[in-house]
A and B are shown apart, each in its own frame.
Chain A
Amino acid sequence: MNAADVLGALKNFSAKEEILRRLVTPEIEAAVAKIPKPVGSFGFDAWGYNEDQFKVGLAGAKWLYDHYFKVQAFGLEHIPRNGRVLIVPNHSGQLPMDGVLIGVACATNPNGPRAARAMIERFFPTVPWLGNLLNAWGGVIGDPVNCVKMLETDEAIIVFPEGVRGSGKLYKDRYQLQRFGNGFMHLAINHKTPIVPCGVVGCEETMPAVFNIAPLAKVLGIPYAPIAPPLPLPARVVLNFGEPIRFKPVKTEEEVTAQVEAVKREIRRLIDKGLKERPSLY
C-alpha cells in the first residue's frame, strides 16, 4: 500500500464517518432500522434507494421539519405500518417541499415508520449528482412501470395527482385544488392499494408566487418560472392524514373520475381542518 492509498482510505473514512456521526441521531437511526424495506447486499434497492444516504437526507430534512417549518402532523396512525399504500396530497409551493415534509412525517411516524417513495420529474436523472442523490433518498422517476413494481413490493408511494398544475399555481389560487389526473386511481384499483388522502396546509405560504413568466419557462424547458421568494419562507406547515380508503373496481372512466372526486372531497376537508388548526401563518 503506497501513500496515495493510505491518504485515500483515510479521506473516505473520515468524511463519511464525520457526516454520519454529526447528522444521524440515534432517534433517526432507530426509525430507519424499523422501516420494513428490503434492500440488497450493499444496502441498495432496484431504484437506487440507499439506507445510509436516506438517513443523512432524513436528518437534514428533519431539522427543517422541526425547526424551520415547525410541522404539525395529525392522523399519522392512518398510514399503514406495512403493505402497499398510495399517499395522495394536494400539491403547492413551487418547490416540492410538501413531498419532503410528508416523507419526513412518514419516516419518523411513531406508529410505524415508512420510507415513502416520491415520484420525481423525468429530467432529474440527467442532472449529475442530484439524480443519484434523489434516488438514494427514495425519489423515483414518475413512470407507471415504477409505480406498479413498487406497489407489488408493498412500498408506500406519495403521488401528487395535480402535478405541476398544483405546485406551479399562483398565490391568489391558494388551497384551490387543480384538476386531478386519474392515473393514481387506476393504480389503486388494479393493484388493490388503499389511498391515504393528505391535506397540506402552509406550503402555499412558503413560496407565494405572484406571476408565472411562461415564455421564460418554455425557453428554459422547466414547468414554470414564478416571480416568488428565492428560498422557501418559514411558514408553519400542518399535515392532516385521512383514513385509508379502498376503492372497488369500476368499468367506465366516468366512474373512475367520480372516485377521484371522492378523494378530492376528502383532501378538501383535510385542508379546511388544517387551516383551522394552524396557530399562525409564520
Chain B
Amino acid sequence: MAIAKNVAASKKTVLVTGAGGALAKRVIARLHGKYNVVAVDFRRKVETDAGIPSYKVEIEKRGFEDIFLNHKIDAVLHIGRIFAHEYSRDRRYNANVLGSKRLFELCKKYGVGQVIVHSTYFVYGASAYNPALLDEDHPLKASEVTMDLVDSVELESLANIYLWKHPELNITILRPCNVLGPGVRNSMSLLLSRPYTPVLMGFSPMMQFLHVDDMADAMVLAFEGNKPGIYNVAPDDYCPYQRAVEECGCRKLPILSIPPSLPRLVSGLLNWNAFFPPYLINYFKYPVVLDGSLFRETFGFKPRRNLNDIFTFYRKNKLISP
C-alpha cells in the first residue's frame, strides 16, 4: 500500500482542460497510467476511468484554484476552448482569453513546470496573398479579417507573453491544421459530416487535415519532449477543400462567391454558424497551408493516418446513417 502510494506520488500530475472533447479524451487515455491525470471541463463533469479525478469548473471562475490546492499539478495541457459557434462572443472571450490568463497565473503561483497550449491555424488568417507553407513566425492576421477570431489571436499573444516572461512555465503552443475524426465537434468536422456541404463556386483552397488520434499523439509528444516554443502541427500532404468534400461523401452545395458579401449573407440567413460561419468563409476561399516541419523534426512526429483514412470515416458514416 505504501509502495503504491509512493509510486503515485513519484508520477507527474497532469491537468487536462476541455476533458469532455474528443481530443482531450484521447490525450487522457494516452497519459493514464504513466501519469496522474486530473480532468477538467466547463461543460459537464466528465466520466473518467478509475483514478482520474474529474471536475466541472469554469476556468475563469474562483473554484478553479481549488484544483491546484488539492493536487500538486506538474503540467497543464490546455485543450479546452469554447468554439466560435458555442455561446456568445463575450462569453467566448471571457473563457478563452481571460480564462487562459487566469490559468497561466495559477500555473505561475503553484509552480507548474510545463504548459501546452492548443491553438489553431485560424490565427494566421485566410488571405489571397498568403504564401504556402507558413512558418511559425508568419504574422497572425486573423483578427484583421474578423472580430470573431480575436479570441484565438489574443490567446496566442497572451501565451507568448508568458512564454518569454516566465520561462519556468515551459509553454509550448501548438497550432494544428484541421483536426478531424470520430467525436470531433469543430466546424470542419461538423461540415464534412453533413450530407450537403456548402462550397464557394470557383474556390477550392488547399487544406491540411490531421486525424484526432495523431493530434493526441502530437500533444503527448510535445508534453514528454518538453521543448518550449511555437509549433505548427500539420502533415506534408495536401488536398483542396472541394476534393475533401467529395472524398467525405458529401454532396456539394455551390454558393455564388461574388460579391464576397454574398456567401456571408447566405451563411448568416441560413444560420450556418456551427459549420460554415460567416467569419470563416475566407478559409474556404483562400489557403492557409502550414509548414509543419519544425514540429515533425523537433519531436520526431509522423502522422500514422493518411488523408484517405481520415476521409473514409466521414464517408462510411454517411453510408450507415444517411
Query: Which residues does A use to contact B, with CB under 8 Å?
Result: 40-42, 44-48, 122-123, 125-132, 135, 140-141, 143, 145-146, 149
Contacts and interface: CB of A to CB of B under 8 A. Distances in A.
Contact of A143 (B131, B203, B204, B243): B131
A132 B239 contact: no
30 contacts: A40-B237, A40-B239, A41-B239, A41-B306, A41-B307, A42-B238, A42-B307, A44-B238, A44-B239, A46-B133, A48-B240, A122-B129, A125-B128, A126-B128, A128-B202, A128-B257, A129-B202, A131-B128, A131-B203, A132-B202, A132-B203, A132-B204, A140-B132, A141-B129, A141-B131, A143-B129, A145-B131, A145-B135, A145-B138, A146-B131
Contacts of A128: 200-203, 257-258
B132 A149 contact: yes
B289 interface: yes
Pairs of residues from A and B, 3 with the lowest C-beta to C-beta distance, nearest first? A128-B202, A145-B131, A40-B237
A45 B206 CA distance: 9
Interface string B111-135: 0000000000000000011011111
A129 B240 CA distance: 13
A47 B132 contact: yes
Contacts of B236: 40, 46
A45 B237 CA distance: 7
B287 interface: yes
Nearest to B244: A42
Nearest to A143: B131
B202 A45 contact: no
B162 interface: no
Nearest to B129: A122
Contacts of A145: 131, 133-135, 138
A266 B132 CA distance: 32
Contacts of B240: 44, 48, 132
Contacts of B291: 149
A146 B236 CA distance: 15
Contacts of B135: 145
Nearest to A124: B128
Interface of B: 128-129, 131-135, 138, 200-204, 206, 236-240, 243, 247, 257-258, 286-287, 289, 291, 306-308
From A46, A48, A143, A146, name the one whose CB has the most chain B CB atoms within 10 angstroms. A46
Contacts of A140: 132
Q: Could you tell me the dominant secondary structure of chain B's interface residues? A: loop
Contacts of A130: 202
B65 to A, nearest CB: 44
B206 A47 contact: yes
Contacts of B286: 125
Nearest to A39: B238
Contacts of A126: 128
Contacts of A46: 132-133, 206, 236, 238, 289
Contacts of A143: 129, 131
A207 to B, nearest CB: 27
Given A48-B287, A128-B257, A132-B203, A40 B133 contact: no
A41 B238 CA distance: 8
A143 B129 CA distance: 8
B303 to A, nearest CB: 11
A42 B243 contact: yes
A48 B129 contact: no
Nearest to A149: B133
Contacts of A132: 202-204, 240
B281 to A, nearest CB: 14
A42 B132 contact: no
Contacts of B257: 128
Given A48-B287, A141-B129, A149-B132, 12 more contacts: A40-B237, A42-B239, A42-B243, A44-B239, A48-B132, A128-B200, A128-B202, A129-B202, A132-B204, A145-B133, A145-B134, A149-B131
Contacts of B243: 42, 44
B131 to A, nearest CB: 4
From B129, B131, B237, name the one whose CB has the most chain A CB atoms within 10 angstroms. B131
A151 B76 CA distance: 39
A45 B131 contact: no
Nearest to A144: B131
B129 A45 contact: no
A45 B129 CA distance: 18
A48 B132 CA distance: 9
A145 B238 CA distance: 18
Contacts of B239: 40-42, 44
Contacts of A131: 128, 202-203
Contacts of A149: 131-133, 291
Nearest to B206: A48
Contacts of B134: 145
B131 A44 contact: no
